Structure 1
Amino acid sequence: MEKLKDKFKRKLAENNYKLTKQREIILETILENKNWHFTAEELFAAVKKKDRDIGMATIYRTLELMQNLDIVHVLDFNDDSRKYELYLEEAHHHHLICKSCGKLVEFSDQDIDYFESELEEKYDFQITEHKLRFYGYCKDCKQRN
């Protein structure tokens, strides 16, 4: 956790920002829940338990800053809700999304990475990013239906 906190502090300094108390609390909340997919409202609720003076506008501004500095990524699933996740460069992954309850499951697969390499070679194309999402129903929702 300290390594990621130091990385954030360094990125802030490199871009002429300060690590304010509010930003630190928000970052720590995200880092404590490293594999968390969260909305701004969910983050706000978690942060409020630590500091009741942090407002929703601060959450939005900090998330925007963190996104610009590649600390968090926005997950846009075309359902009018933005979710965020901590960006870990070494942990590229994809998502399974339940169409009923919205549950997100992360997965990674070497075959997909291999396929990406084949595409680059076959089409002489440099891929800089990709996003793969599968939509369906989680175990719980399948059992309910």
Structure 2
Amino acid sequence: MSLENQELRKAGLKVTLPRVKIYQILEKAGEGDHFSAEDIYKLLMSIGEDVGLATVYRVLTQFEAAGLVTRHHFEGGHSVFELASEQQHDHIVCVKCGKVREFVDPQIIERQYEIAKKLGFTITDRTLYLYGVCADGCKEE
């Protein structure tokens, strides 16, 4: 049994071709790659898979509910998905082209926990989004 099938079954989801294909795309993503539903739909179309955009959205929502993926909501209504990970990491988003990059900075993570403790909180989840303009041709006008 393939890893995708095992993960889907473990999450309580029936193994279907669209689910397997979408999981494979997310699994093969390079480190730090994040895909919107539209990105996944275009990738499926480019490899000749006949999976509708509504199906992609539905499967991603099912994956999110099952804890297989994490959805990130960025300013401007931009949402991207990545496979759920135990590793704490943060994101920086280009406000021009929408490119998303991950980064891990132990000092930032440690500082957040220190601040929470000082204010009498116990962190149960954390998310940090930084916004800027990337160096890939998205210079300010």
TM-score over 0.5 (shorter chain)? yes
Instruction: Give the corresponding residue for 1:126.
Output: 122
User: Which structure shows the higher helix fraction?
Assistant: 1
What CA deviation, in whole Å up to 9, does each residue of 1:110-145 have, x standing for no partner? 112211321343233111112111111212346675
Instruction: Give the corresponding residue for 2:54.
Output: 57
User: Could you tell me whether the CA contact under 8 Å between 1:100 and 1:141 is conserved in 2?
Assistant: no
Instruction: Give the corresponding residue for 1:10.
Output: 10
Q: Tell me the percent identity.
A: 29
What CA deviation, in whole Å up to 9, does each residue of 1:27-60 have, x standing for no partner? 1121111532111111011122445322112111
Give the whole-Å Cα distance in 1 for the aligned partners of 2:10 and 2:49. 27
Amino acid at match of 2:11: K
Q: TM-score, normalised by structure 1?
A: 0.82
Query: What pairs with 1:16-55 in structure 2 (closer than 5 Å)?
Result: 17-35=13-31, 36-55=33-52
Amino acid at match of 1:86: L
User: Could you tell me whether the CA contact under 8 Å between 1:96 and 1:135 is conserved in 2?
Assistant: yes
Aligned-pair RMSD on alpha carbons? 2.2
- SS at 1:79 equivalent: helix
User: Could you tell me whether the CA contact under 8 Å between 1:67 and 1:73 is conserved in 2?
Assistant: yes
CA 1:5–1:118: 2 relative to 1, 3 Å: farther
User: Could you tell me whether the CA contact under 8 Å between 1:94 and 1:108 is conserved in 2?
Assistant: yes
Instruction: Specify every segment of 5 or more residues in structure 1 that has no aligned partner in the other structure, as ranges.
Output: none
CA 1:136–1:128: 2 relative to 1, 3 Å: same
CA 1:121–1:80: 2 relative to 1, 3 Å: closer
CA 1:98–1:26: 2 relative to 1, 3 Å: same
Instruction: Specify every segment of 5 or more residues in structure 2 that has no aligned partner in the other structure, as ranges.
Output: none
Amino acid at match of 1:20: T
Instruction: Give the corresponding residue for 2:88.
Output: 92
Amino acid at match of 2:57: Y
CA 1:10–1:34: 2 relative to 1, 3 Å: farther
Aligned equivalent of 2:74, options 77, 90, 108? 77
Amino acid at match of 2:94: C
- SS at 1:30 equivalent: helix
Give the whole-Å Cα distance in 2 for the aligned partners of 1:61 and 1:67. 10
Give the whole-Å Cα distance in 2 for the aligned partners of 1:9 and 1:51. 25
